[in-house]
C-alpha cells in the first residue's frame, strides 16, 4: 500500500491551500481504494465566512474532499500520470453537518475503469465514525 503526503498531493493535483481539501492519503490500493484525511480545526478558513454566528463546512467542500481523494488516488498510478480526470456526474448525499473541529476520514473506491470513463464512490466520516456524506461520481478521462 502507498501513502501520499500533502506535498505529493499538491504536486499530483496542482491544487494548493486553501482549496486543497485533503491533508494526506493513506492505504492506497492501486486503482482500487484509499483513505483521505482532512483535519478540520476551529480556525479553518470556511468557518470564518460561512454562516456567520453558526459556522459550518460547506457541503460542496465535503464533496470536494471526496473528489480530490479519488483523483489523487488515480493520479498516483503511472497509467493516469499523463491524464486529466474530469467529473461528469455527481450524486452526493449529506447526513450531518461539520460544525466543530474534527478529522474527516474519506473512504473512496474505484468501482470501474473503462477506456474513457471511471466510476467511483466515496464516504466521509468524522473522528467518531459518524457518517457525514456519501456519493457516486463518474469521470471522463482525457490526455493533458
Q: Kindly report the CATH number assigned to the domain that includes residue 87.
A: 3.10.129.10
Give yes or no: 50 in active site: yes
* Residues of the domain holding 116: 2-143
Active-site residue, selected from the candidate residues 2, 6, 26, 50: 50
Residue 89, burial from CB neighbour count under 10 angstroms (0-12, 13-18, 19+) = exposed
Per-residue pLDDT tens digits for 14-24 = 999 999 999 99
Q: Convert the pLDDT of each residue in 100-130 to its tens digit.
A: 999 999 999 999 999 889 999 999 999 999 9
Cell numbers 503526503 correspond to what residue? 5
Give dist(CA 54, CA 136) in Å, integer.
29
pTM for this structure?
0.95
Domain count for the chain, please give it.
1
Q: Output the nine-digit C-alpha cell for 10.
A: 499538491
pLDDT, tens only, 35-91:
999 999 999 999 989 888 889 999 999 999 999 999 999 999 999 988 999 999 999
| 53, HSE (Cβ side, Cα atoms, 13 Å) | 0
**What is the rounded CA–CA span in Å between residue 43 and residue 25?**
22
Candidates 121, 107, 114; CA nearest to 140 is 114
pLDDT at 50: 85
Cβ pair 124, 108 in contact under 8 A? no
Amino acid at each position: 500500500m502507498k501513502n501520499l503526503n500533502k506535498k505529493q498531493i499538491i504536486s499530483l493535483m496542482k491544487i494548493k491551500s486553501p482549496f486543497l481539501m485533503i491533508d494526506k492519503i493513506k492505504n492506497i490500493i492501486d486503482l482500487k481504494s484509499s483513505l483521505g484525511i482532512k483535519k478540520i480545526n476551529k480556525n479553518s478558513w470556511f468557518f470564518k465566512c460561512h454562516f456567520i454566528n453558526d459556522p459550518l463546512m460547506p457541503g460542496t467542500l465535503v464533496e470536494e474532499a471526496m473528489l480530490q481523494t479519488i483523483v489523487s488516488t488515480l493520479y498516483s498510478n503511472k497509467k493516469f500520470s499523463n491524464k486529466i480526470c474530469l467529473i461528469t456526474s455527481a450524486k452526493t448525499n449529506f447526513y450531518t453537518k461539520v460544525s466543530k473541529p474534527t478529522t474527516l476520514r474519506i473512504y473512496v473506491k474505484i468501482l470501474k475503469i473503462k477506456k474513457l470513463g471511471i466510476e467511483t464512490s466515496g464516504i466521509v466520516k468524522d473522528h467518531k465514525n459518524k457518517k457525514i456524506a456519501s456519493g457516486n461520481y463518474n469521470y471522463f478521462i482525457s490526455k493533458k
